[in-house]
Amino acid sequence: AQTVTQSQPEMSVQEAETVTLSCTYDTSESDYYLFWYKQPPSRQMILVIRQEAYKQQNATENRFSVNFQKAAKSFSLKISDSQLGDAAMYFCAYRRYSNTGKLIFGQGTTLQVKP
C-alpha cells in the first residue's frame, strides 16, 4: 500500500526567508501525481502545487517550488520570501493514475512564520 510521510510536525521561518518542507512516499507505481495542499486556520484545503511523476522538471507556482526526486521518492516544498499569510498546515498527498482519484495524505507540517 502507498504511504506518505512528513517527518517534520512543525517548522518555523522568519518572514522573507526561505523554508523547505519534506515529504517522502512509498509506492510501486511508476505513474502518479503528487500534491501539496495548504490548510490555513479556516481549515479550507487549498491546492498549492502539483507534480506529475513522468515530468522531470520540478513544478513551480510563484514563490512555491518543489524538489521532486523520483528515485528517492522524495517531494519537498520550498517556500521563498515567506509571508505571514503562508502560516498554515501543509499536507503532502499522493495519487496514483486511476479513475478513482483517491488521495493519500501525509500527517502534515505546521508552518509558523515569524515577523
Partner 1 sequence: SQTIHQWPATLVQPVGSPLSLECTVEGTSNPNLYWYRQAAGRGLQLLFYSVGIGQISSEVPQNLSASRPQDRQFILSSKKLLLSDSGFYLCASLSGISTDTQYFGPGTRLTVL
* Residue 34: CB minimum distance to partner 1, A: 10
Our CB check for partner 1 shows the closer of 4 and 16 to be 4
* 105, 93 Cβ separation under 8 angstroms: yes
Of residues 41 and 115, the one with the C-beta less far from partner 1: 41
Please, what is the minimum distance in Å from the beta carbon of residue 16 to partner 1?
27
User: Residue 111 — φ and ψ, nearest 5°?
Assistant: -105, 125
Q: Which helix (H) or strand (E) holds 49?
A: strand 46-52
Considering the complex, state which of residue 108 and residue 111 has its C-beta at the smaller distance from partner 1.
108
Contacts with partner 1 by CB under 8 A lie at 33, 35, 37, 42-47, 50, 52, 91, 95, 99-108, 110
Least gap, CB of 102 to partner 1 (angstroms): 6
Residues 16 and 59: their CA atoms lie apart, in Å, by 21
Burial of 43 (0-12, 13-18, 19+ CB in 10 A): exposed
Is 3 or 18 the residue whose CB approaches partner 1 more closely?
A: 3
